[in-house]
Structure 1
Amino acid sequence: MKQKLVIAIIWIFSAVAHAHVSADSQLAKNQGLALYNQFKAITAVPYLKAAAESGDHEAQYYLGEAIRKNKKYMTPEAMSAYEASALQGDIYSMIRLAGEKNDLCVAMGNCPKGRKEPGVWGKLALDTASVEAAKGNAEAMYLMFIVTGDDEWLKKSAENGYAYAQYFLGVSYREGRGFFLLPSNRAEVVERLLKSSAEGGYPQGMLAYGAILAEKKDLQGFRLWNEKAAETGYATAVFGYGSYLGEESSEFGFTYDPVKSYALLHLLLELDGGGGMPDYVNFALPEIAAKMTPEQIEKAMVFSREWKATRPPLSFFPDKL
């Protein structure tokens, strides 16, 4: 009886410890992804590495991405991260590995025993995505498009609700892809796709659909989707929305709110890892501040902290591939 009790206690403490490890790993992953999406790949690496070591395949993929982008080439460490991820069935990692035809060991024909060549990873990516697409996975359908180049998979992905595919296809049609009997037919399809992408939560889709509404003089709709996109943390949308609020006479009908405008633009100054956002902010902020009292600026700083604490992290939402 006493032995069973000891085993039970060990099991409970083991389960609690595992839960803490999982929670810590998730926190590290979240922080790493937030930094990566802010173009701070170097800073993201330690967090992604901590999550990757716990076996998280998505963290392993992004660790590979961060290392590869930092070094400007595929390092052995990046390759190992992708391989660990791909061996768990991560299709994105398989696609990355399939594209590494210039890897030195492949060129020399002396890859370590057990290392799969790019062609093998390409076949695995195709097979894995095909199985998932057959189950109705819209994201896998998009990956089938990436692997095969067949536009029908892109259309299927969009039709099945993958918001990024809807945006990608809508923008492609807008720029001339595909054949339409009448220009009005093209415009209708583009609007439908971007509306679906926006409603599906994709920030760039929100801004693109908002722009269509603005062209149709639906300024209320334009304001709505700009605010919704800003709420996601999309840096471009936060800058645009904040700038509109700082205009005393807004072309699009935004209510003048210098406190909120200053707060949102000031928040963007943390995006100093790439993308040039601080340059834009430092150009716009002084003009807004010049019309504010010290009390308003102090209030804006409080609002900025509250916004950051209650919204998703700022992000440029770079494409995953």
Structure 2
Amino acid sequence: MHTNIDDLTAFFNLLNSLTALIAKLNVRQENARKKAIELYNLGSFQASERYLNIGAAAGDRACQYALGEVLRRQHGSITEEAKTAYRLAAAQEDVYALLRLGDHQSLDQARQLLLPRIEQRDGEALLQMYELTKDITWLKQSARTRFPEAMYILALEYDRDSSLLLPGENAGELIDLWLERAAHVNFPLAMNWYTNRQKVTTFPSLRREWLEKTAALNDLYGVLKYGFALGHGESGGDPEYGYKKNYPLSYALISLVVNSAPEYQLHNSAALFLDELGKAMSQQEIDLALKVAQTWKDSHPPLSENRLTYHGI
């Protein structure tokens, strides 16, 4: 059999071109996936939907579940479109997607997926079993494994329902206990709440320490609170936390929130405060603040609301 060398060359050139094209598509899909999750975590649901569709179509389970969540939020219920996204994630054994679907078959599948993980005392599986059954025993077991979301949710439940208390138990003490434990493993929702508990507010330096730790994780609310605190106080000190004025850092932090999260519920308040700060600053101070903002952005994880994965949303 005779093979023309020119035909072989053309074939290999075509193969290389296809390989390069696939690589470019994979890079674009990965970039879209990262962008989708970042926007979703920011609470920028409208902006994230386009990118989530790309990630979901590429088979990314996190994007499929997040897309279902976005569609559910938009319509205030689980529509057929949302179910389609959840089903894609559920086909990859996403337990939360199965819980959202909520039909008998899905819930039974979720239970079967959880059982072997529960035998291993997997904290997330124990929390998911709580979400499936609403039996507080599972939530307590999950919290005892120090799974962050479970510790925070247990504090929420004690705050919400006093009937959960056993004889001799004190709701305030239990809330403080679980919030403190969750805060110490850097769970931002717990850190934000714990910062406002009397156990902490009594000690201003401790309260500042927790606020700064939360902001350092680039938690959206923590960054905004820190920025507000640094920019408040006519007499040179913030009345809530006791910070001295630091307009450049305040401007830097609040500008990050304003520019990154236009759908954030506190965006308008942040934008108004930023505008007022700008009026009190020189152009040189604003330029410095923008450099500080860029440095902060480059040296921290992406801003995030750090919402709960499933509970109560």
Bin the TM-score by the shorter chain: 0.7 to 0.9
**Matched residues in 1 for 2:97 and 2:189: separation?**
24
- Does the 8 Å contact 1:213/1:222 carry over to 2? no
Over the aligned positions, Cα root-mean-square deviation in angstroms equals 2.9
Which residue of 180, 186, 206 maps to 1:195? 180
Aligned with 2:190 (options 179, 202, 205): 205
Task: Report the CA distance shift for 1:72/1:196 in structure 2 as closer, same or farther (over 3 A).
Answer: same
Native 8 Å contact 1:271 1:277 kept in 2: no
- Cα deviation per residue 1:78-105 (whole Å; 9 max; x = unaligned)? 322211211111101101111xxxxxxx
The answer to whether residue 238 in structure 2 is matched with residue 250 in structure 1 is yes
Q: Residues 141 and 226 from structure 1, CA distance in 2 versus in 1: closer, same or farther, beyond 3 angstroms?
A: same
Indicate yes or no: 2:158 matched with 1:173: yes
1:158-200 deviation digits (Å, cap 9, x = unpaired)? 11111111111113223443225457x4333222211111122
Pair 1:226–1:216, CA change in 2 (3 A): closer
The CA distance in 2 between the partners of 1:264 and 1:186, in whole Å, is: 35
Poorly superposed stretches of 4+, deviation over 4 Å: 10-24, 180-183, 213-216
- Deviation, structure 1 residue 17: 8.0
Counterpart of 1:94, as a letter, is: L
What is the CA–CA distance in structure 2 between the aligned matches of 1:195 and 1:128, rounded to whole Å?
Answer: 31
SS in 1 for 2:63: helix
Q: Which residue of 2 aligns with 1:221?
A: 206
Matched, 1:49 2:88: no
Residue deviations 1:229-265 (CA, integer Å, cap 9, x gap): 1122222111111111113212323242111001111
Give 1:302's match in structure 2, choosing from 270, 282, 291: 291
* CA distance in structure 1 between the aligned counterparts of 2:173 and 2:136, rounded to whole angstroms: 19
Name the TM-score, length of structure 2 as normaliser.
0.83
How far did residue 291 of structure 1 move?
3.3
Residue of structure 1 in register with 2:85 after alignment: 81
Distance in 2, Cα, partners of 1:301 & 1:256: 17
Residue 82 (structure 2) pairs with residue 93 (structure 1): no
TM-score by length of 1: 0.81
> Offset at 1:285?
2.5
The structure with higher relative contact order (CA 8 Å, sep 6+) is 2
Q: Does structure 1 residue 132 correspond to structure 2 residue 113?
A: no
- 1:120-175 deviation digits (Å, cap 9, x = unpaired): 11111122123222222111111100100100011011111111111111132234
Identity of aligned residues (%): 26
* Paired residue type of 2:157: S
